[in-house]
Structures are given as C-alpha cells and as structure tokens.
Amino acid sequence: MSIILGIDPGYDRLGFAIIAVNGSRAKAIDFGVITTNKSDDFGCRLLQLEKDLTYLIKEHKPDLLVMEKLFTTVNQKTAMKVAESRGVVTLTVARYKLPVVEFTPNQVKSAVTGNGAADKKAVQKMVTKLFNLSHVPKPDDAADALAIALTGIGRLNLLTK
C-alpha cells in the first residue's frame, strides 16, 4: 500500500487530501483545508502552512506529493501569493525527500472525469463517486485536492516499479 498527498495550493485555504492506494484501488484517508488567518502578516501565514503540512507528512508518511500547477490568473497579486505558498509546499516536502508530481487543472479534470473542460461540479461528483463518499467534500479546495491526489496514481505506479 502507498500513500499519496494531494495539494490544491493556496495561502488563504490550501486543500489537502491523503489517499491510500493498493493496486488500482484508492481510499480517502483524510482531506480538508489548511486555513490561515487573514489578519496575520503574510510571512506568518506561510509559516502556518509549513507547520500544518509538516504535521500531515509526519502523521501520514506519504510516498508521493501531487500538486496542481499554478495557472495564469487575471489577478497577478493573488498569483504571486499562491506561487509563494507553492514554494513553501515544495520546500517542506523536500525536507522529507518526497517525490513531487505536478498536473495542470485540465489534466486533473481529464483524469477524473474524462473531460479536461469539466466544471467543478462534475469533478466533485466524480470524486464523491470514486471514493464512495456520503457527500461532496467541502470546501471546493478539499474536493480538488482529492482529484489531484487521484491523478497521481499513475505516477505512483511508475515510481514503485
């Protein structure tokens, strides 16, 4: 059995998912969001992300980190802050020598739904079905992290062969 940590990067809310993979079967172990306090200065918010991510890594001991690639956004200020949070994720997982795989949003949508142009509701519906969850994961960042983790299964299989 292998463990994948999926990350939907952000600094206000960072989606995470821990899935266990056994052959072609995947089970959601833990998922949610790491939130930071909007009133804290940005450096403190990044430090909170690092602390919480370190906890997840120590608790679940993942074999692979799968993260969504940064996509161009209209708001460059937001894009820069998300890029900095991705840097914190990259640095944190490097400390634990975790391999990192990145996928674009369209690659994740295509892997989970079969359609790279699928909307959020379609991704959420498939994640709920594939993991046999009783309800759609909330907030959206948690569902996205599950989809991202699921997309990494093929890469995990390549690493373990």
Which CATH number is 102's domain given?
A: 3.30.420.10
Q: Say how far apart CA 56 and CA 60 lie, in whole Å.
A: 6
Query: Could you tell me which residue, 75 or 61, shows the higher pLDDT?
Result: 61
Would the pTM of this model clear 0.95, i.e. be above it? no
Q: pLDDT grade, residue 158 (50/70/90)?
A: low
Average pLDDT over residues 34-58: 96
Q: Which of 8, 50, 63, 140 is catalytic?
A: 8
Active site residue 141: yes
**pLDDT over threshold 80, residue 92:** yes
Backbone angles phi, psi at 18, to 5 degrees: -115, 120
Total count of domains within the chain:
1
Q: Say how far apart CA 51 and CA 71 lie, in whole Å.
A: 25
Give the per-residue pLDDT at 155. 77
Q: Which of 30, 41, 59, 141 is catalytic?
A: 141
Which residue segment(s) compose the domain that 144 sits in?
2-159
pLDDT digits over 19-36, tens only? 999 987 899 999 999 999
Give the per-residue pLDDT at 51. 97
**pLDDT over threshold 80, residue 57:** yes
Residue keyed to tokens 């519906």: 125
**pLDDT over threshold 70, residue 159:** no
Q: Which of 22-31, 60-69, 70-79, 113-122 has the lowest mean pLDDT?
A: 70-79
Give the per-residue pLDDT at 14. 96
Average pLDDT over residues 69-89: 83
Q: How far is CA 119 from the centre of its chain?
A: 18
Backbone angles phi, psi at 138, to 5 degrees: -125, 150
Q: Which of 68, 102, 119, 144 is catalytic?
A: 68
Q: pLDDT grade, residue 16 (50/70/90)?
A: very high
Active site residue 68: yes
Active site residue 8: yes
